[in-house]
Structure 1
Amino acid sequence: MSERDPAPAAGGYLGAGVNTRWQATREHVDMALAGPPPRPLRLSAAPQDVTLDLARSAIVVIDMQNDFCAKGGWVDYLGADYTPDRAPIAPLQRLLPVLRTAGVPVIWVNWGNRPDLANMPPNQIHLYKNSGSGIGLGDPLPGSGARVLEKDSWAAAIVDELEPAPQDIKVDKYRISGFWDTPLDSILRNLGIRSLLFAGVNTDQCVLHSLTDANFLGYGCVMLEDCCATSSPDFCTEATIWNVKKCFGFVTDSQTVIRALEGGA
């Protein structure tokens, strides 16, 4: 609450973010509220150590969904090995409660198609159904009948092991990047977020391109290496990590974050 107007007689705060909200009464609107003081957190990282402001940071967890990470999901149906994409589950189970306790927002960015695919142009459908036949976006999976990556289907649901908390934020995406044609950037700006931790699958696809878009939009970006995974060949992960360190941000891991939060960094 503002020190200049600690108890407005009639009115309240406007906006979801303590960093950006206004305070209003019948007589006055204060757009100059001071945000919370910085809460620095220094992390060992590459290419150099980095300090985040916990009061202005969030974690973005991308595509930890049944279609990518579970038996009976789309990747499994296609005959690929989905088990590498399960690697982030255990570290995220440890990290997310610690971040929530520290007041860091957890944002789940998941592929969630419209049932009619009305916003999916042919090039995006071709990406996953390049022969024009087979099981692609929005098609029912044999057996369960769940529609591939369709919002509110089992296929698009977050894996059971990573149940979101009530205060977490969910954003549907429709492209490789979580920023394109979604409210993610607006949400982050309204919360006053300036730095982002990145986790999820696939490291070299949706994680990388969401991270690069965040970088282009001006956010400080930190990839949590052990909280990211891919079913692509190893060289794809190696190239992604090299490029993040070279061009787009920093790389560390969940244990480093936990130790720093617990005062052991």
Structure 2
Amino acid sequence: MTNQEETEVGKTIYLVLDMQNDLVHAEGPSGKGPLGAQVRERETLARTVRVLQKARAAGALVGFVRVGFSSHYQECPRHSPIFSGAPAASLFKLGEWGTEIHPDLEVRKEDLQIVKHRVSPFYSTTLEAQLRAQGVTRIVCSGVSTQAVVQATVRDAHDRDYEVVVLEDCCAAHSAQEHANSIESIRRFCRVETADSVSFD
């Protein structure tokens, strides 16, 4: 495919969502709880590694999304049921181990990097500007948790006219039922595939 043809048909990006130490590492706060147990049971990390390799081999773009706040948590919403406890627990602090992408997942300097302060990676970030600049029209995504960032990404990307693919077996929630409910609720807004079925060609 020529560069002109690639521009005409658009590009694909694999967006890895919130796969950071605070949430998915076995020694992280959430990694020691129900979410971490689901990540391990579902082999979410190993499958994500395989998809990253597949995406890079096909020449697709790769991006990593993480939630993070500055040291004094100026961006942290005080009344959020999800984020309000982060300052007291020292969670999601930028520049520290907890907001680093899990070491099993290779991050390259050319990968897109998005730091978000809310659930959706599109809210008050440069994500859409970077995607438009790169000519992206198709987003393949996965991560944790299914009921939060995955759902938010799918719905926001859909309304911005991207083609969206969710890799069901590369996602996890705080319970198997919560994951299943979340996937079912977003099927109308995306295509649901797996690590084995997805193609980046």
Instruction: Name the SS of the counterpart of 2:109 in structure 1.
Output: coil
Extract unaligned runs of 5+ from structure 1.
Answer: 1-33, 40-52, 130-135, 141-146
* 1:84 aligned residue: 38
Structure with the larger helix share:
2
* 1:199 aligned residue: 142
**Within 2, Cα distance between the matches of 1:138 and 1:157?**
17
Contact 2:24/2:35 (CA < 8 Å) preserved in 1?
A: no
Q: Which is higher, the Rg of structure 1 or of structure 2?
A: 1
Q: 1:162 to 1:257 in 2, by over 3 A?
A: same
Moved over 6 A (4+): none
Structure 1 residue 256 corresponds to structure 2 residue 200: no
Q: TM-score scaled to structure 2, two decimals?
A: 0.88
Structure 1 residue 103 corresponds to structure 2 residue 59: yes
Contact 1:69/1:83 (CA < 8 Å) preserved in 2?
A: no
The residue type equivalent to 2:58 in the other structure is A
* 1:61 aligned residue: 16
**Within 2, Cα distance between the matches of 1:150 and 1:210?**
22
Instruction: Name the SS of the counterpart of 2:141 in structure 1.
Output: strand
- Of stretches 249-258 and 80-89 in structure 1, the one that deviates more from structure 2 is 80-89
* 1:72 aligned residue: 27
Q: 2:181 aligns with which of 202, 222, 239?
A: 239
Q: Which has the higher contact order (CA 8 A, sep 6+)?
A: 2
Contact 2:44/2:172 (CA < 8 Å) preserved in 1?
A: yes
Instruction: Name the SS of the counterpart of 2:97 in structure 1.
Output: coil
- Equivalenced residue count is 198
Contact 2:23/2:35 (CA < 8 Å) preserved in 1?
A: no
Contact 1:88/1:227 (CA < 8 Å) preserved in 2?
A: yes
**Within 1, Cα distance between the matches of 2:49 and 2:35?**
22
Structure 1 residue 36 corresponds to structure 2 residue 4: yes
- Deviation per residue, 1:10-50 (Å, 9 max, x gap): xxxxxxxxxxxxxxxxxxxxxxxx953149xxxxxxxxxxx
- Of stretches 233-242 and 108-117 in structure 1, the one that deviates more from structure 2 is 233-242
RMSD: 2.3
Q: TM-score scaled to structure 1, two decimals?
A: 0.68
TM-superposed CA distance for 1:207, in Å, is 0.9
The residue type equivalent to 1:152 in the other structure is G
The residue type equivalent to 1:235 in the other structure is Q
- Deviation per residue, 1:90-120 (Å, 9 max, x gap): 1121121221122111100001112122122
**Within 1, Cα distance between the matches of 2:35 and 2:126?**
32
TM-superposed CA distance for 1:128, in Å, is 4.1
Extract unaligned runs of 5+ from structure 2.
Answer: none
**Within 2, Cα distance between the matches of 1:193 and 1:58?**
7
- Of stretches 235-244 and 60-69 in structure 1, the one that deviates more from structure 2 is 235-244
* 1:227 aligned residue: 170
* 1:115 aligned residue: 71
TM-superposed CA distance for 1:139, in Å, is 3.8
Structure 1 residue 159 corresponds to structure 2 residue 118: no
